[in-house]
Structure 1
Amino acid sequence: MTLNDKNETPAMTPLQLRHQVRSGEFRLPTSGYCGAYAQANLVILPQAHADAFLLFCQRNQRACPLLAVGEPGQWNVGALGADMDLRSDTPGYNIYRDGELASQTHALHELWRDDLVVFAIGCSFSFEQMLIDAGIKLRHIEQRRNVAMYRTNIRNHGAGPFGGEMVVSMRPMKAADAIRAIQITSRFPAVHGAPVHLGDPALIGIADINRPEYGDAVEIMPDEIPVFWACGVTPQEAIRHARLPLAITHQPGYMLVTDILNSSLAAF
């Protein structure tokens, strides 16, 4: 990948980006790409566990807002985009076995089964372009890093074997920008909506803000506060809790870029 002189991300349609992912040309975190379009977290489970996970999402909509659910064996969910192949259109996948991260891969063709069900969950990357358009700086994009993500002590509402704690993503902001970010993101519950916390990370169980469990740490300046959104990596904690024989997710920060316009997801 090459960037222009302003260190901006290349202009691509979601379909073009997915084709680059599919061919192996693109293997980067997707924050900052195709900013007008919704990005999605993926959870892929055997049909035997799909109903319980659907209930888990319904009970934890801040962290797990559903964009689409596929039929068993369906890898081309049309509601998400044209010429879609969910076996290879995400830059990286995690393979969980018995609740542990067993391996990572760039394609699922050899693992695919007729009983696998795809869940596409809204992602906070989707509202980042709106924040940038409002003049709010996002340090992880400026520094070409993955967003910082943390486990918290906020308990999920359990469903079947799924439970665990919420994961949050963090973006440092000046107070005035944080207020504006709350106003903007509140309109988009389908991509996590308003923040769940801002300020002291210890209040939500984060012991060291400089050591995220997922993604990359970014510096918080003296005139900034950390702002935390519910994160679509939360299902990966639920999968660890459930200890299923097999579960597949995206690698945190390496999202599926859909054809869904963010503007179409506004609740008001």
Structure 2
Amino acid sequence: MTDPIDPRVLSPDQARALFRAGLRVTTAGWCAGWTQANLIAVPREQAYDLLLFAQRNPKPCPVLDVTEPGEVSASLFGGDLRTDLPGYVVYERGEPVAEVPDVTDFWRDDLVCFLLGCSFTFEDALREAGVPVRHIDQGVNVPMYRTNRPCRRAGDFGGPLVVSMRPVPAAQVADAVRVTSRYPSVHGAPVHVGDPLELGIADLAEPDFGDPVEVRVDEVPMFWACGVTPQAAVMASRPKLAIGHAPGHMAITDARDTRYIVP
């Protein structure tokens, strides 16, 4: 019997080969030490507005790399952006029309790809500091929620801030803030700690994206800005076409997590 693969020890190339072959899985905990990224691709005519949207909303949209129109790889991503993520969502006029493991059939030569920082990048550092990461422990996708906080609009793009949530023991909240604040290029410190109603989130058991996780009596929900925010902007702003990663199914890049740590 073949031993199961430990996804933590895989290289980005090895992980991308598995995804290209059809493996569909959330990538939290994969390729320890390698940076994960959100993907959003739009036609060239919308690319400047999306870049401006990211510049005006750097907390949820920290730009790591941008391709030329039609390019299918990037300086941080040596694979094929059409096939080497484990899942994609295709939007037409803001509506999700397909969730697929390969977007080759939807690809256009005018598409510009944006790779944005992902909070999965700092999860190893959280665990090394003794802070639990519940969705990894439970083997599910991180819960993500639309909030009542609007992003700053840019041209065609506007919409709500999306956040990811991790429950943290009350005694370790300060540790979680300290650890994640050292990663400003991958969302950095949380945007909110405590009562989800202050973000307009009525029920933590009903995330808009991802899966619910257990929140224990002695734990505080902590919320980080999330790179699914541009997809919420796509749904709100309704461009003719956009392609994003399926939430939690990230691009595993060739950059090291240590590249994004600040002293």
TM-score interval, normalised by the smaller of the two chains = over 0.9
Q: What secondary structure is seen at the aligned counterpart in 1 of 2:29?
A: coil
Distance 2:104 2:211 in 1: 29
1:103 alignment counterpart: 98
Alignment map for 1:99-248 (pairs within 5 Å): 99-248=94-243
1:19 deviates by 0.8
Which residue pairs with 1:72 in the alignment?
69
Kindly, what percent of the aligned residue pairs are identical?
Answer: 48
Per-residue deviation, 1:57: 0.1
Task: Provide, for residues 151-188 of structure 1, a one-character-per-residue CA deviation record: whole Å limited to 9, x for no partner.
Answer: 10011000011111100000001122221111011111
Q: Distance in 1 between matches of 2:119 and 2:15?
A: 18
- Structure 2 match to 1:37: 34
Local SS of the residue matching 2:105: coil
User: Once the 2 structures are TM-superposed, how far is the Cα of residue 81 of structure 1 from its aligned partner?
Assistant: 3.1
Count of equivalent residues: 262
Distance in 2 (alpha carbons) for counterparts of 1:188 and 1:125: 11
SS at match of 2:85: coil
* TM-fit CA distance, 1:35: 2.2
TM-score (norm 1): 0.95
Structure 2 residues not aligned, in runs of 5+? none
In structure 1, runs of 5+ residues without a counterpart are: none
Query: TM-score, normalising length from structure 2?
Result: 0.97
Letter in 2 for 1:80: L
Cα distance in 1 for partners of 2:260, 2:24 equals 27
Counterpart-to-counterpart distance in 2, 1:266 and 1:223: 30
Runs of 4+ aligned residues of structure 1 deviating over 2 Å after TM superposition are 1-4
One-letter amino acid of the counterpart of residue 29, structure 2 = G
Matching residue of 2:58 = 61
Q: Take 2:107 and 2:232, find their aligned partners in 1: how far apart are those partners?
A: 22
Aligned to 2:16: 18
In structure 2, distance between residues paired with 1:136 and 1:17: 26
Q: CA deviation at 1:2?
A: 6.5
Task: Decide whether the 8 Å contact of 2:9 with 2:32 is kept in 1.
Answer: no
Which letter maps to 2:37? A
The answer to whether the 8 Å contact 1:65/1:122 transfers is yes
Question: Is residue 2:47 matched to residue 1:50?
Answer: yes
Quote the Cα distance in structure 1 between the aligned partners of 2:184 and 2:236.
25
Matched, 1:267 2:262: yes
> Partners of 2:90 and 2:123 in 1: how far apart?
28
Shift of 1:10: 4.7
Separation in 1 of the partners of 2:168 and 2:145?
17
Cα distance in 2, alignment partners of residues 151 and 109 from structure 1: 29
RMSD over aligned CA atoms reads 1.3
Secondary structure at the aligned position of 1:162 is classed as coil
